[in-house]
Structure 1
Amino acid sequence: MSSIDNTDPLIKVKDLYKIFGNTPRKILPFVKKGKSKANILATTGHTVGLQQINLNVQRSEIFVIMGLSGSGKSTLIRHFNRLIEPTEGQIIVEGEDIMKFNAKGLQHFRRYKMSMVFQRFGLMPHRTVLQNVAYGLHIQGVAKTDRNKKAIDWLETVGLSGYENQYPSQLSGGQQQRIGLARALCTDAEILLMDEAFSALDPLIRSEMQNQLIDLQEKLQKTIIFITHDLDEALQLGDRIAILRDGKLVQQGRPVDILMSPANYYVEAFVKDVNRARAITVETVMKPPDCRVSVDTIGGAISQMRNAKAAHGYYINNGIYQGVLRRQHLESFDSSQYSNVIDGSILETVPSIQANVLLEAVISDTLKHELPLPVLDEDGKIQGQLSRVNLAEVLSNQSNSSSANANNILYSMSCF
């Protein structure tokens, strides 16, 4: 077998169709000709589960598949480990089409390559917590001492150290889901399937589990396929998101792509009530700086700002941001002072922000300052700027907002 390029997608789904019924192959041509799901059900009694799904999942990413009930998301995830067989199409994992696996090959694939966390936990009530977590290793034939040691380590990782000898019924729902997560991780499978894994949990516990998954992913770098019907959850967890409707893939992309450029009215309806400040980073919406002042004299700074038609400039010394200069203030100096060197007495202090933080974290500072905030990289070099109006436009979902409308948004933001 040829070697696999690690830059290639780990999983490729190609032209995947799933039709439920007695003679799905006979119905497939009608689906390909564009007959609707409702029409096919009414005329043939067959249910169209998936229609021409094409997507790639990259290594070490959290790929979220979302949609409403009946959209096909749970059907799709069960194709990845062949719990459901497709009517037509390919699922290629590390260059191998898993549809070609025989029974033994499929068994090996499920035991070592891919594990799953279920919505309703899927725990065995007659086994202890430790036995549940170690079960996958037991199936793999790992010696009891070794599998128990590893299971104990994973229980500690998910915050359940000391519960080894309890039974699932003695634990809360959040704790039971942690057991399910530890069991899935214990096998060292590279791919983790999570089907509505947190949807049965109370909101607070659900949020804690989301945060724990993010923390674990930073350390483990698994490839995670996560199913949800909740857009807020998808935006929080997903490196990329695919949205299904009636078995069709209607849009896929980064969270910011989904929020800022919805593909159609269906996606637009999904995202309209989302708190964008909790999902979009500064880098996504920042503008280029109005003016970089790279000279050392007052006159030189005035000249640079005039050429840039800018009312202010970010003073840069040795490539590092030092503060803000206002053109009006500098022009108030007598021309005899234009040769004077810029010093701290004429610099205005405006707090800097970083590009990778969420907008939610910078709203307060943005509202406090009339001037746009400079966006810096880790070395203190300026990358862009974020202004009040820019922030208001993004959060109001109107890129062509009027000043009055932007002011209304700013007022409502100030009430946070």
Structure 2
Amino acid sequence: MTSVRPQQAAEEAESARSVTRTAELTEASAERQLGAICFKIGPPALVGVEAEWFVHDTRCPGAPVDPARVAAALAVLPGSADGPVLPAGSRLTREPGGQVELSSPPAADPAACAAGLSTDQAVLRAALAAEGLRLTGSGTDPLDRERRMQADHPRYRAMERYFGRGGPWGRIMMTGTASVQVCVDAGTEESFARRWDLVHRLGPVLVGAFANSPLLEGRPTGWKSTRQLVWSRMDPSRTLAPAPAPAGDPREAWARYVLDAEVLCVRRPDGLPWDAPAGLTFRDWLRGGGERPATLADLDYHRTTLFPPVRPHGYLELRMIDAQPGEGWRVPLALVTALLDDPVAAGQAAAAVERLGHAGSRAPRSGLWRRAAALGMADPDLRRAALDCFAAAEGALSRSGSPLRPALAEFAARYPARGRCPADDQLAALRTGTGPALQEDVPC
């Protein structure tokens, strides 16, 4: 979920006032812009991770948390115009339903990235604890409590109305879901298409292995990743993966995807609503279908309202992983980076996902993705592929001497090796009457 930060909100207001004075776009110039900025080509060097949590009252976890309490907890942290300043430089944001998110700064290796985010998570955890609050890592809020839209920015008001045309799923997504997002460089001119293809083919394995949202409103849904179910019910023009381009170039596929997606909001000045005309795609806008000519600023903002499983920002942002308990985000960080950056592991992972079947493995609403979301590691084919991928990653981490290897090995032994995923812990707690539990202290 993309947040609106204080400085960004001020910039957006100024941009909205001046947007009509910005140079107009054509379809050709828009396609060139998207190809140039969304895939930054070069040797993979940096990695990042974004981890999101729900905030619960420690004593009354089923009660909604007053946003003022969270604000009071965060007010003790050093701050700047952009928000709280954390020791390792992670950015702290608050999401529309009150979720909190830490976004690490880009790091030179996964271990350094993990160390920094762990430090900042500990600071966040302590600040919330002082107000009687705690973090819960789960892909959906596991408790039956009122979900409230806590964001009043015109972006979110427009988003709520846009998604509301298709039922309750958009509001559930904004107020009741949380994720882990791993960010990796796009790759070189020779490798970026292979990396783009591999991260999409890994999608069902990542969904199933890290499925951690079996509950909605405190009740089982029959899915191990209800978060994926929620996303599957939403606007396909902005939540599916781009269809492959005929020439196999991800830049061409992404440009077509962006331009053919419906416009979610149009920034306007002076407190006017940002709602877009129903059915207007960005390509329609470029062809004169909007209230004014589309600009480069509009195109850049439109990109932030698209939510496919892999989103290119210059780097690749993997968005299909449920939020994890405790510091469980360290495992998908270790797995993804090892499989992409170690050539041996990348080849082994490609072979493992190839055995799942070529057709449909890239499409988030295919049978394979649905099986991953519904069954997790109880699906025997996905379990075998996951075990192969974890073994490949463990080998890569062993070769590099990474301190993340023990966490990955422990997770593999606890979950895929036993045909389980973190969602099974939530379901077991519910069956025994001890849950749904707050998960922050569950070991990864």
TM-score between the two structures when normalised by the length of structure 1:
0.22
Structure with the greater relative contact order (CA < 8 A, sep ≥ 6): 1 or 2?
2
Select the structure of larger CA radius of gyration. Answer: 1
Q: Which has the higher strand share?
A: 1
